Structure 1
């Protein structure tokens, strides 16, 4: 029998509470997938989607039971669903977050969505610009990213949290992040998806997610949701685009080999 921890009143939850997560990548359709899963009767998703527990240095070294107590407020709506999850796409980017996930629950099922690395980088820039965290024009922001990230790290004393900015291109280096993930979790606990499939072949993709989580296929399937695309008003110059294609050429080639049926 699974151990339990008390929550409010007499309700009990399993421990560890969370048994699956959507951990990335940022700007790859994680919001759409989280909403699909939230509609499944066997799934309980955290309120607000992104919890940002494991990409915070405040959580390092905490016992799983203490982390569960932190999670309680995000699952007031839990009603005994067998699958309990959250979606914080920045987890994939931080090695310390991956280590924290394994410390919390080494049996976690992890879902990772990917998209064209160049388009992901441009979409991340647009997000930061729209949020008011980015004031630089797109061309220098992307081309000078390594210098800006180094300066930000020095200014913050080397700390990295989910609020770290200026990592548009670096977060598109998927292979490094997946290598870290694979050093902690076996392949059978990781599901890789392409965001294009979620948008264009969503029924097939959702069925693969349901199978991975070992839950039934609902009838009918939830209606299709829009997977956001890159905002064109922030497109860089032709010269910067050519530079980005060269910088991310290996990542794009790898993605094409991993998902040969995509059309982007």
Structure 2
């Protein structure tokens, strides 16, 4: 049957995601994708990060058939099951919200949000250490201090296209969520603190499954991207400065979401 799939997709015989995990980078999206994929009624895309709605060239070519090829065909999905994907760049990409709404205005969107200081440092660790060999074009040779100070000095002039790393701007979550709220009603967005998957796993999974309309099932906690590199102690001054930088944005975020996560500075 696989050899027929391209033909069937051209005829419009395809599955479409009913919900998507849209962010944030280094927020635990890989872990959540793998956790939900254990559920008998949830079918994740064959590739976790499909990146259709943040790939300008791919999207503008309107290659929906290729996008839908990452999902099972309708006859392969049990009644009541749902398909999904997780591309954490969707949250930050300036055009993804409008594109997702044009694709399906009834989409449900899950956002995992991590303390933005910890997220920034984790992202730098990835670009600086882990991309040094395998993905040299994405390698960041700068120290964390150099990278942060550069972005602080160019915050008003940089954008998604001029700085794809955006250690700081990716952590200003309130702006990104407000962009999505221009298109989607609040009830279709679920924002979860990523730490809750570690500290309150079962209640958090219950909340997520209830949000997407799937019966509860006991799922195993799965963590991904466990870095063995941690040189955070070298950058305590920078970490403290970033907590002060993000504090007003976090307050706006908590007001918007009617919550108050414990993102205070810790030594």
What is the TM-score of this pair, normalised by structure 1? Answer: 0.81
Q: CA deviation at 1:17?
A: 1.2
- Give the length in aligned residue pairs: 247
**Residues 87-142 of structure 1, C-alpha deviation per residue, up to 9 Å, x if partnerless?**
00010001211111111111111000111111111111111112121110110111
Secondary structure class of the residue paired with 1:145:
helix
Q: Is the 8 A contact 1:38 1:44 kept in 2?
A: yes
1:217 paired to 2:216: yes
Secondary structure class of the residue paired with 1:22:
strand
Partner in structure 2 of residue 206 of structure 1:
205
Partner in structure 2 of residue 113 of structure 1:
112
- Return the match for 1:246 from 244, 247, 250: 244
State the alpha-carbon separation in 2 of the partners of residues 263 and 99 from structure 1. 30
Q: Is the 8 A contact 1:149 1:165 kept in 2?
A: no
Matches within 5 A, 1:97-246: 97-129=96-128, 130-132=130-132, 133-146=139-152, 159=161, 165-218=164-217, 221-226=218-223, 232-246=230-244
Change in Cα spacing, 1:213 to 1:254, as seen in structure 2 (3 Å) is same
Q: CA deviation at 1:151?
A: 8.9
State the alpha-carbon separation in 1 of the partners of residues 119 and 157 from structure 2. 23
Partner in structure 2 of residue 47 of structure 1:
46
Unaligned runs of 5+ in 1: 1-5
Change in Cα spacing, 1:134 to 1:42, as seen in structure 2 (3 Å) is same
- Return the match for 1:70 from 66, 72, 83: 66
Unaligned runs of 5+ in 2: 133-138
Q: CA deviation at 1:263?
A: 7.5
State the alpha-carbon separation in 1 of the partners of residues 205 and 183 from structure 2. 26
Q: Is the 8 A contact 2:15 2:83 kept in 1?
A: no
Q: CA deviation at 1:253?
A: 3.3
Q: CA deviation at 1:173?
A: 0.2
State the alpha-carbon separation in 2 of the partners of residues 209 and 48 from structure 1. 21
Q: Is the 8 A contact 1:117 1:251 kept in 2?
A: no
Change in Cα spacing, 1:73 to 1:147, as seen in structure 2 (3 Å) is farther
**Residues 48-94 of structure 1, C-alpha deviation per residue, up to 9 Å, x if partnerless?**
2101111111144565xx42x02233124762253111100010001
Q: Is the 8 A contact 1:126 1:234 kept in 2?
A: no
Change in Cα spacing, 1:139 to 1:77, as seen in structure 2 (3 Å) is farther
- CA root-mean-square deviation: 3.0
Change in Cα spacing, 1:93 to 1:136, as seen in structure 2 (3 Å) is same
What is the TM-score of this pair, normalised by structure 2? Answer: 0.80
